[in-house]
Structure 1
Amino acid sequence: MLIINADDFGYSESVNQAIAESFAAGLISSTTIMANAPAFEHACDLARRMGFADKIGIHLNLTEGRPLTTGIRQSRIFCDEKGNLGFKRFTHYWLPRDEINLVREEVAQQIHRCRKHGISLTHADSHHHVHTELFISLAVVRELRRLSVPYLRLSDNVRAASIARRTYKANLNWIISLNGLKGTDYFCDLNDIASLPRECMSQDTVVELMVHPAYAADGSLIDAEMKQPFRPLLSRVTRPDKLVSYGDLHHCVA
C-alpha cells in the first residue's frame, strides 16, 4: 500500500492550491497541515470545499513562523529575540525539562487549533523533520498519545546512511512503534523511493512517500524540493492500483 503525503499544507495560498489540485488529479492521497502558518484557515476552508478534510494530518512546526503559545517565545533554543520560531536541528542533543515542557505545550496547541477548525487529524509529521530529534520526539510522542493522534511519521528508513545514522533512525522508529504510533513500514522521499524493492508495494506493506506540490513561475505543478515537474516525477513511482491515506489505515487495522 502506498500513501503519498503532501507536506506544508497551510504554508501559503499558492501551496494550498497546488495540494488541492494534486488531490483532484489523484496524484496524492494525504496531506499535513501547519497550524501556525499564514494560510492555515484558507487551507481548512479549501479542504472542506474540495472534500479531503478527512485525509489531513498535522505538520508540527517548531522551525519557522510564529508559535501559538507564549512560553516558547521566551526560549532562545526555539525562538529568536522577536519570538519567531527558528529551532536548528543537530544543535541540541539534550534539552532541559522546562524546554521539553514548552515543546509539549506548543505541540498540544497546534493540535487543538486544527481540531477547533474541524480537522480531526489522521496522523502527524513535522516541518524540517524536527520530530526526529530525540528529545523532541519524546515530547511529541507523549502529546500524540495524550491527545489521541494515531500515527507519527517514521524517520527515513530507505536512504543509504552510515551505520551510526541507521542505528539512530532505527532506535527512533522503535520508539514510535513501541508507543503504538507506527502506521507505515517505510518512509522516504522522491529521491529514494526507487531504492525500495518492488515487493514493498505489496498489500501487506505500507509505504509513505513525502512530496511537496507547488507552482512554478509559469503556473505548472512542480515538487518544491526537487524543483522538477510533479507528474513526471510521480510517473517513475511504482504505484498500486489505489493510493491510501493514513485515515484508511484505521479501517485496515480494525
Structure 2
Amino acid sequence: MIGTADPPILAGPDRPRPDPAMPLNTPTPLLLCADDYGLAPGVNAAIRDLIARGRVTATSVMSLCPHWRTDAAALRGLKDKADVGLHFTLTDQPPLGPMPVLAPDGRLPPLGRLMGWAYRGKLDGPAARAEIRDELSRQIAAFTDAWGAAPDYIDGHQHVHQLPGVRDAVVEALAALPGAYVRLCGEPLAAVLRRRVAVPKALLIGGLGGGLARMARARGIPANDRFAGVYDFAGSRPFAELMPRFLEGIGGRPLVMVHPGLPDEELRRVDGLVEPRRAEYDYLGGPEFAALLERRNIRLTRFAGLSPRRAFAG
C-alpha cells in the first residue's frame, strides 16, 4: 500500500444519529490519531503512509525511542497534513535521564506497577514528582529538538498521562505550550455499553481520566470530548468489525486512536503488539474504511477542524 494515492475521504448521506446542532448533510469531523510514532521503523513507515493518503490526521510521538530522531525528518514533510504530539512514556522503555525512584535499573516500570504506585500515593512524593516532571521536560525537549517545533498536543503511552502524580506535570507542561491540546479518554457510559467492545477496559481507561479533565478545564486547555479506539488486541474480532462500532453515534469533538504498523524485527523486539498493527494498517489504508466514512458522512480532520461548540464531556 505504501506509495499509492487516494482521493480525499468525504461525504455520504446516511450518517446515523445526526447531531441536531449541525446542519443536515454537514460531515461530522473526526480526529483519527495513530499512536507510537518512533517505536520502530515499520510503525513509522505505516503512519507516514496513512497520513500522506489522508487516512490519519494526528500521530503521537514516543520521543524517548531512538527511531524518533532518525525518522523525524521523514515525517516533517507531512506536517501540514496532521497534528504531531508527544506520547509521554513512563512504562517499559529506558528513560532519557536518571530516575532513581521510578527506574532505578534504568528501565521504566510496566504499566501495572506504575498504576499501583499511582494509586498508593508513591507518585505523590516530592522525589517522584520531580522525576516525572523532569522526564516530561526531557521528552518534550527531545521532540522539539528533532521536530523543530513544540508538540501540538500531549497524550500518554498506555494513557499514563491520566494517572495521579502524572497528570499534574502534564497540565503544567501544556499550560506552557499555548494552543496545545490534551487527549481525554472519557466516554459516556451509554456509548461504551452500546459499542460492546472491551467494555471493562474502556470503562477503566475512561474512569482514570476524570481528574485530568477537571484540571484541563480549569486551566482552559483545549481537548476532545469524545474518545474511542479501545479494544483487547487479541484478534478475536476483525478490525473491520471494530471500527464501525468506534464511529457509532460520534459527535462533538471526537478522537479515535489507532495503532497501525508494518511488522519488522525491531517492532518484534520491543513490543508484543505486532500483527494487530498490520491488520489496522491494512484496513485504514483500504477501500472498506473509505466506504465507511462515506456512509457515515464523516470527515477526517486535524484538531483545529473539530467543532468548537463544546469543550469537554462529563
Instruction: State the Cα deviation string for residues 110-164 of structure 1 (Å, max 9, x = none).
Output: 11221222143111111111112122111211122134462111023253467x9
Contact 1:155/1:172, CA 8 A, preserved across alignment = no
Q: Find the residue that maps to 1:242 and give its secondary structure.
A: strand
Find the partner of 1:63 among 81, 86, 91: 91
TM-score of the superposition, structure 2-length normalised? 0.66
Paired residue for 1:91?
Answer: 116
Is 1:8 the counterpart of 2:36? The answer is yes
Shift of 1:49: 3.1
Q: Distance in 1 between matches of 2:114 and 2:278?
A: 18
Is 1:120 the counterpart of 2:150? The answer is yes
Q: Distance in 2 between matches of 1:36 and 1:115?
A: 12
Paired residue for 1:132?
Answer: 162
Shift of 1:99: 0.5
**CA distance 1:145–1:101, shift in 2 (3 Å):** same
Shift of 1:50: 3.9
Paired residue for 2:270?
Answer: none
Paired residue for 1:156?
Answer: 186
Paired residue for 1:209?
Answer: 256
Q: Find the residue that maps to 2:54 and give its secondary structure.
A: coil
Contact 1:124/1:149, CA 8 A, preserved across alignment = no
Instruction: State the Cα deviation string for residues 75-115 of structure 1 (Å, max 9, x = none).
Output: 2xx2152x112253421211212211110111011112212
Q: Find the residue that maps to 2:166 and give its secondary structure.
A: helix
**CA distance 1:29–1:223, shift in 2 (3 Å):** farther
Shift of 1:5: 0.3
Q: Distance in 2 between matches of 1:98 and 1:247?
A: 37
Paired residue for 2:65?
Answer: 37
Root-mean-square deviation (Å): 3.3
Instruction: State the Cα deviation string for residues 201-233 of structure 1 (Å, max 9, x = none).
Output: 3xxx1100000111257xxx9752976843368
Indicate the structure whose relative CO is greater, using CA pairs within 8 Å and at least 6 residues apart: 2
**CA distance 1:190–1:140, shift in 2 (3 Å):** closer
Task: List alignment gaps of at least 5 residues for structure 1.
Answer: none
**CA distance 1:229–1:54, shift in 2 (3 Å):** closer
**CA distance 1:208–1:45, shift in 2 (3 Å):** same
Q: After the TM superposition, which of the residue ranges 50-59 and 4-13 deviates more from structure 2?
A: 50-59
Shift of 1:248: 4.5
**CA distance 1:106–1:55, shift in 2 (3 Å):** same
Task: List alignment gaps of at least 5 residues for structure 2.
Answer: 1-28, 194-198, 232-241, 265-273
Instruction: State the Cα deviation string for residues 39-76 of structure 1 (Å, max 9, x = none).
Output: 01123111123445862011111113221222x1x12x
Q: Distance in 1 between matches of 2:126 and 2:43?
A: 36
Contact 1:2/1:240, CA 8 A, preserved across alignment = no
Aligned residue pair count: 240
Find the partner of 2:220 among 155, 165, 180: 180
Paired residue for 2:140?
Answer: 111
Q: Find the residue that maps to 2:255 and give its secondary structure.
A: strand
Shift of 1:8: 0.3
Paired residue for 1:100?
Answer: 129
TM-score of the superposition, structure 1-length normalised? 0.79
**CA distance 1:18–1:228, shift in 2 (3 Å):** closer
Q: Find the residue that maps to 1:214 and give its secondary structure.
A: coil
Contact 1:114/1:121, CA 8 A, preserved across alignment = yes
Shift of 1:174: 2.0
Q: Distance in 1 between matches of 2:262 and 2:130?
A: 38
**CA distance 1:36–1:121, shift in 2 (3 Å):** same
**CA distance 1:137–1:240, shift in 2 (3 Å):** farther
Q: Distance in 2 between matches of 1:210 and 1:54?
A: 14
**CA distance 1:225–1:119, shift in 2 (3 Å):** farther
Q: Distance in 2 between matches of 1:42 and 1:67?
A: 18
